[in-house]
Structure 1
Amino acid sequence: MKKYVAVSALTAVGLLTLAGCADPGAAAPSPSTDTTNAEGTTYNTSPEQNRIRTEVDQKLADAVPEDIKKDGKLTVATTAGSVPLSFHATDEKTVIGTEVDLAQLVADKLGLELDLQVTSWENWPLKTESGEFEAVFSNVGVNADRVKKFDFSTYRAAYMGFEAKADSDFTVTGADDISGKKIAVGSGTNQEKILLAWNKELEAKGKAPAELQYYSSEADTILALSSGRIDLNIAPYPSTVYRENQRDDLKVVGKINAGWPNETLVAATTKAGNNLAEQITAAFNETIADGSYAKVLDRWNLSEEGLKKSETITASNYKGK
């Protein structure tokens, strides 16, 4: 029987100290089209998404900077790297997921056509700075380094999940729980930053640090985990929950805020000072008010990461570390 992790109603996540990011890794699509577990949870992984849409707000559309709206498109980058956030459908071409659905809502509100561009995690910062991408929707979190170059419109809480084989007895709540374990993590991600900090804690206590393992794709990572070559994988929490829902051999064994030891939020990312973030934030708040935002999160079983309000974060008002 497939397991189901219940999600709560739309939850407020306070805009506290912001740091870090929940960076996705490379992912493979689910082999199924509509997958339904025993509790009736369905994930549509087909290219025919029938996305939730919303209406244009002409005042917001008129306020979009002229150099952005002149071609009638909102060019959005995503990495297509984590189920169910942003990934390829069963046709292995169409990019789907909650990040894509939320980008569509924002484009609708701003009266623009969504122009979705797939990029690597390493390339989105430079291409956003250059103006090639007008916004990034790819599980990007606000942190002290990024806020120097980008503006943010918050739209989701950010958590990390630890996953292990279903027959394991692991529970992860802190550094002590990973001592001596082999853990898969993405290079240059916030996950890696957390684990390196935890390893320093362990070494200071005279305990064995975790052995970090790096794989080129999420598919390789999950194969290593399911075959017992590694003990744990740390990944964006929605991805770990998705796999727990859809597989019998894996389970979630821990959850932490992606900004540990502080808190962080996921945000649409735009070039600093281009005046687009304010319009995206306003668009998010209208979709929160009209209910379309909640419908998107509920569709992908991410309601527990929902916000009651989107806020614009820039270098001038950032309060993180």
Structure 2
Amino acid sequence: MAFFTDPSRRGGRLRSLVALPAVVLLGTAALSACSDPGASASSASGDTSTTAARNGVVYNTSPDQQRVRAEKDTALAAKVPELIGKDGKLTVATTAGSIPLSFHATDDKTAIGSELDIAQLVADKLGLELDIQVTSWENWPLKTQSGDFEAVFSNVGVNKDRVKLFDFATYRAAFMGFEAKKSATYDIKGADDISGLRISVGSGTNQEKILLAWNTELEGKGKAPAVLQYYSSDADTILALSSGRTDLNIAPYPSTVYRENTRDDLKIVGKVNAGWPSETLVAATTLKGNGLAPVLTEALNSAIKDGSYAEVLERWGLSEEALPESKTVNEANFGAAK
């Protein structure tokens, strides 16, 4: 679903025409992204166009985003692989599944968020029109391999399985947050702290991999594993947490920060790197070997240098996850490049 950019530095508006339907997540999609599906501003935070949070951020959740924009870099534009740039578009997939990263605005159909703002900066730098395609967690890997998507901006963390099929351009730190009801006394630092608890998690995500590994560790110690629970949408997940049907939710850290600062009933009770037991980063995801990832890396570094990248992160309350430099990560340099 394409939208048309305003040529001025500010004022581009995303025009997305199709809402992502809720999908019940029962299985594991081995290569899916790091987040939870189905978030919308109207369902998670009330049908208002702005939300003033306790952390000082005023979140604009309306369809009219007035995005931060960047100028075209002619030298970078010339480096875009011909097969990708010939239609004048950068086709970007997102799952619209996690406030404030990528989610549906108050109209329940327009995809907005920090991930799309960063994608906009990259498209601007490369002189391409940003073509946003909302998809499901299960579909982005196959559709990227088939060429339907040229890049994925949806909180995708780099890991050893994904580098076998995709190349990456890093742009943000990758952490997961544990959240609970305000009255909870949990302090989640490792496997022992989740024994016997009911935890909601997105199927096929990095956070699910962490919990499964922690459960294996618990079972090896003769302790009760956590009970993992799966819901069809972000709204259903948070309703289950706030009503006491789950004890914890693990989600992208920016989303837990958003809720802690815009709700009165939830708080963060733990934080873990999305690549546990090692570390990882969030990255733009491209088909392995097609030459696009290094160009995206250069575009991101240009945005870092001119300050537009920092402006986007500040706009969404994500400054603490900023990177000083974007790097290209592929199978050959995985580990060394992080």
Fold shared per TM-score above 0.5: yes
**Is contact 1:21-1:266 (8 Å) kept?**
no
Q: Which residue of 1 aligns with 2:268?
A: 252
Aligned to 1:229: 245
The answer to which of 184-193 and 256-265 deviates more is 184-193
CA contact (8 A) 2:57 2:315 kept: no
Q: Structure 1 stretches (4+) deviating beyond 6 angstroms?
A: none
Q: Can you list the C-alpha shifts for 1:33-63, whole angstroms capped at 9, x where unaligned?
A: 1111355421000111100001110011011
Q: Return the match for 1:275 from 291, 301, 305.
A: 291
2:330 matched residue in structure 1? 314
Query: What are the equivalent positions in structure 2 for 1:85-96 lying under 5 Å apart?
Result: 85-96=101-112
Instruction: Report the 3-state secondary structure (helix = DSSP H, G, I; strand = E; otherwise coil) of the residue aligned with 1:234.
Output: strand
Equivalent in 133, 145, 159 of residue 149 of structure 2: 133
Determine the structure 1 residue equivalent to 2:17: none
- 1:217 aligned to 2:243? no
Does the alignment pair 1:68 with 2:80?
Answer: no
1:298 pairs with 2:298: no
Letter in 1 for 2:262: Q
Percent identity of equivalent pairs: 71
Q: Distance in 2 between matches of 1:67 and 1:43?
A: 37
**Which of 209-218 and 80-89 deviates more?**
209-218
- AA matched with 1:207: K
Q: How many residues are treated as equivalent by the alignment?
A: 303
TM-score (norm. length: structure 2): 0.87
Is 1:52 aligned with 2:68? yes
Distance in 1 (alpha carbons) for counterparts of 2:303 and 2:94 = 20
Q: Is the Cα contact below 8 Å between 2:57 and 2:316 reproduced in 1?
A: no
Aligned to 1:172, which of 188, 193, 214?
Answer: 188
Higher relative contact order (CA 8 A, sep 6+): 1
Distance across 2 between alignment mates of 1:40 and 1:58: 37
After TM superposition, the structure 1 = structure 2 runs for residues 152-163 of structure 1, keeping only pairs within 5 Å, are 152-163=168-179
**1:182-221 counterparts in 2 under 5 A?**
182-221=198-237
How many Å separate the matches in 1 of 2:57 and 2:74? 36
| In 2: Cα distance, 1:39 partner to 1:192 partner | 28
Q: 2:333 & 2:33 partners in 1: Cα distance? A: 18
Q: Matched residues in 1 for 2:280 and 2:156: separation?
A: 10
Deviations 1:6-39 (A, max 9, x none): xxxxxxxxxxxxxx96333321323221111355
Q: 2:130 aligns with which of 86, 90, 114?
A: 114
Supply the distance in 2 between the matched residues of 1:265 and 1:40 (Cα, whole angstroms).
26
Which residue is equivalent to 2:27? none
Task: Kindly indicate whether residue 115 of structure 2 is the aligned counterpart of residue 99 of structure 1.
Answer: yes
Residue 39 of structure 2 contacts residue 234 of structure 2 at CA under 8 Å; is this kept in 1?
yes
In the other structure, the counterpart of 1:148 is: 164
After superposition, give the CA deviation of every residue in 1:216-271 in whole Å (9 maximum; x if it has no partner).
Answer: 11111111100011100001101111111110000010000000000000000001
Paired with 1:241 and 1:211, the residues of 2 have a C-alpha distance of 24
In structure 1, the residue matched to 2:8 is none
* Alignment TM-score, normalising by the size of structure 1: 0.92
**Which stretch shifts more, 298-307 or 185-194?**
185-194
Q: Which amino acid aligns with 1:61?
A: A
State the alpha-carbon separation in 2 of the partners of residues 319 and 201 from structure 1.
24
Is the Cα contact below 8 Å between 2:36 and 2:233 reproduced in 1?
no
Distance 1:165 1:246 in 2: 14
2:286 corresponds to which letter in structure 1? T
Contact 1:21 1:142 in 2 (8 A): no
- Deviation string, structure 1 residues 139-177 (Cα, Å, up to 9, x no partner): 111111111111100000100000000011111011111
Q: Give the distance between the partners of 2:83 and 2:35, measured in 1 at CA.
A: 29
- The answer (yes or no) to whether the contact 1:22–1:159 under 8 Å persists in 2 is no
Contact 2:179/2:256 (<8 A) preserved: yes
Aligned mate of 1:41, from 39, 57, 62: 57
Distance, in Å, in 2 between the alignment partners of 1:35 and 1:189 is 28
Structure 2 unpaired stretches of 5+: 1-31
SS of the residue corresponding to residue 186 of structure 2 reads coil
Q: What is the one-letter code of the residue matched to 2:274?
A: A
User: How far apart are the structure 2 equivalents of 1:37 and 1:63?
Assistant: 41
- Aligned partners of 2:35 and 2:97 also within 8 Å: no
- The Cα RMSD (Å) is 1.6
Which residue does the alignment assign to 2:37?
25
